[in-house]
Structure 1
Amino acid sequence: MVPEPITDIAHLGHLEITSKVPEKSLWFFTEVLGMTVSAQSGDSVYLRCWDDYEHHTLKLTAGKRTGMRHMAFRTRSPQALERRVAALKGSGFDIGWTDGDVGHGPAFAFHDPDGHRIEIYYETEWYQAPPELRPALKNQAQRFPARGANVRRLDHLNCLAADIKANREFFETYLGFRLTEQIVLDDGREAGMWMTCTNKTYDFAYTLEAHGHKGRFHHLTFALDSREEILRAADIYLENGVHIETGPHKHAIQQTFFLYAYEPGGMRVELANAGARLILAPDWKPIVWTEAERRKGQAWGLKTIESFHTHGSPTLEEMLEDIA
């Protein structure tokens, strides 16, 4: 008998990232990407895309180093939150309850096998646009900003991990995520996983950290409406002196049309088309990519740039400093 799927997690809610140059990073997210500031508190600024329904989807905090401080998922109900907390308590991954934060209520914190901090919550503040940002259509969260790339919503994230299999099994067992695509090397090791809790093909990805370090972050991704908007974003990056790492182009895995750049703090940011493929089959069978297939590069033949396997947040140099 097929086990009943766990559907307690609704979606990726927000990320908290740190920047060693927070003022410059804030300029990038607001003026280049077109995000809106919804609150400020201490060393943190809370940001949102124009069609995010929650108070914020990105918390930008000043820090000694650039990295991801935590990722947060909203559950489908208070009862769903209770079920996931009960599953996590005593697992060895649990940290405990927090009082919440600006824009959302109490959250339960834990970590994955690689040490990335994760929070789950249900109580949230729906964004109420001030008069100058109210949209003409009531089914839109906020007026279109007409500024920079005009990112529509937070889409997904990618973490680096030393053990992909352990993390996949963790997300399947404790949170009910489904695997949609993966990379398996010739020696049998899992080198990448793309997982979903929705009908999107993926809400996050984890890829193998080439040097065996734990807790590094690869990139966060914002959605735009079309490929044409991503091409325009490349011009906007060019005009603003933003370093483009690779793209615009199309991934083979998941077929995402992409553009990768570095924000001023050094974190990789992806822009992707919002018309993502959907997984409607309840018995979807994960797509497995081999080592030889991945050597072919991206969908139209662009080779994967070397920095894609080495650059992350914190940097390798900063990781080595911590070890020393």
Structure 2
Amino acid sequence: MPVTVTLPTVAQLAHVELLTPKLEESLWFFTEILGMTEVAREGSSIYLRAYEDFYLWTLKLTAWEHAGLGHVGWRVSAPQLLDEAAAQLAAAGLGDGWFEHGELGQGRAYRFHLPDGHRMELLWDLEYYQAPASQQSPLRNRPQRRPSRGVPVRRIDHVNCFVSSVEENEAFLCEQLGFKVREIKLGADGRKVGSWLSVSPLVHEIAIMRDGTGQGNRLHHVAYWYGYPQNLYDVADLCRDWGIRIEAGPGKHGTTQGMFLYLFEPGGNRIELFGDSGYLIFDPDWHTVVWDVSNESDLYASTLWIGASTMPESFYTYATPERVLVER
């Protein structure tokens, strides 16, 4: 008998908007330290891209009174899924309505929010980047030349959100958007303290972690990918010279097996730089990896497989905004 295959609603992470009280300083960091390219400016926002991002942009910086998450954009798996997903989100009471005119380089989008309040959108129509002649790479599978400034990141990788309840937000991501749970961490009380989810062979396009302050609805970090571990040491060296605060790393997580460097861009948002791909999941019958962090061995191995003995306290309590404020 023929098998009917159902596509997940979400296909991939398309972009992230970061709010920053120091727009020009944040721009300097992303362009001069991380080697990203400015694409355009509209009003109080600046659009940026990494050199192996295929779409026009993946990062939007918006001037705001505090740091934090503006929104996360997800591309759906097929155009017809956009309207279907919008109806389901509206019925679930978490839809915020259509953004009909779209943003730079994209068509209409449906805005919604996670149970905790993080703002997100679904979209299909996206503009692909066309490099000017001076920036075209001889590699036909690379959208533009590798920039010669800073230590250039290659592509957007994932987003991590602080939530008040991992279970509630995880269920929403799986049931409404088609994510699969790849790894989880359980605390001493048996509740989940973290969940790593994806819709692709990547270990995660989104992670959700229990907010150490109990607040939720905050951004933990946005991650960009290098691929070469040496790049993390190079950018760490650059950050020390130029006064960028490093929180942790270079090191390697047990969870996802990703090599990491955590730092803070001048506006206050935490940025993770991924130094390799971790591992990939091709198994269609994947069994979620479970870490029991009440066990000292699991706590150490899952957090820091290689590197310092522990993560700083700020990793479990700091997020943006520093306290939950009135919504935008």
- Normalising by structure 2, what TM-score? 0.93
SS in 2 for 1:15: strand
Cα deviation 1:244-296 (Å, max 9, x = unaligned): 11100000111110001110011111110243311100110101111224532
Question: 2:45 matched to 1:44?
Answer: yes
**Corresponding residue of 1:68:** 69
In 2: Cα distance, 1:225 partner to 1:270 partner? 13
1:209 corresponds to which of 211, 228, 233? 211
Question: 2:241 matched to 1:239?
Answer: yes
**Aligned letter for 1:89?**
A
Any unmatched runs of 5+ in structure 2? Answer: none
In 2: Cα distance, 1:139 partner to 1:35 partner? 18
Spell out structure 1 runs of 4+ moving beyond 4 A: 3-6
Does the 8 A contact of 2:210 with 2:216 survive in 1? no
**Corresponding residue of 2:187:** 185
Cα deviation 1:182-224 (Å, max 9, x = unaligned): 1111212111000001111111101001222131110010000
Cα displacement (A) at 1:136: 1.5
SS in 1 for 2:257: coil
Does the 8 A contact of 1:5 with 1:176 survive in 2? no
Question: 2:83 matched to 1:82?
Answer: yes
**Aligned letter for 2:73?**
A
In 2: Cα distance, 1:53 partner to 1:4 partner? 27
In 2: Cα distance, 1:44 partner to 1:322 partner? 21
1:299 corresponds to which of 305, 314, 318? 305
Matched residue count:
319
**Corresponding residue of 1:224:** 226
Question: 2:313 matched to 1:313?
Answer: no
2:251 corresponds to which of 220, 240, 249? 249
**Aligned letter for 1:18?**
L
Does the 8 A contact of 2:230 with 2:275 survive in 1? no
Matches for 1:95-114 after TM superposition, within 5 Å = 95-99=96-100, 100-114=102-116
Does the 8 A contact of 1:6 with 1:175 survive in 2? no
**Aligned letter for 1:118?**
M
**Corresponding residue of 2:285:** 283
**Corresponding residue of 2:118:** 116
**Aligned letter for 1:142?**
Q
In 2: Cα distance, 1:119 partner to 1:269 partner? 21
SS in 1 for 2:311: coil
**Aligned letter for 1:244?**
I
Question: 2:274 matched to 1:268?
Answer: no
In 1: Cα distance, 2:152 partner to 2:138 partner? 17
SS in 1 for 2:256: coil
Cα deviation 1:23-46 (Å, max 9, x = unaligned): 100000000100001111000000
In 2: Cα distance, 1:68 partner to 1:148 partner? 25
Higher mean C-alpha deviation, range 270-279 or range 17-26? 270-279
In 2: Cα distance, 1:166 partner to 1:134 partner? 45
**Over the residues paired in the alignment, what is the CA RMSD in angstroms?**
1.7
SS in 2 for 1:38: strand
Identical residues among aligned pairs (%): 37
In 2: Cα distance, 1:103 partner to 1:276 partner? 31
Cα displacement (A) at 1:132: 1.7
Question: 2:17 matched to 1:23?
Answer: no
Cα displacement (A) at 1:81: 1.7
Any unmatched runs of 5+ in structure 1? Answer: none
SS in 1 for 2:283: coil
In 2: Cα distance, 1:270 partner to 1:210 partner? 19
Does the 8 A contact of 2:7 with 2:77 survive in 1? no
Cα displacement (A) at 1:4: 6.2
Higher mean C-alpha deviation, range 129-138 or range 113-122? 129-138
Higher mean C-alpha deviation, range 276-285 or range 174-183? 276-285
**Aligned letter for 2:65?**
K
In 2: Cα distance, 1:239 partner to 1:312 partner? 25
Cα displacement (A) at 1:91: 0.8
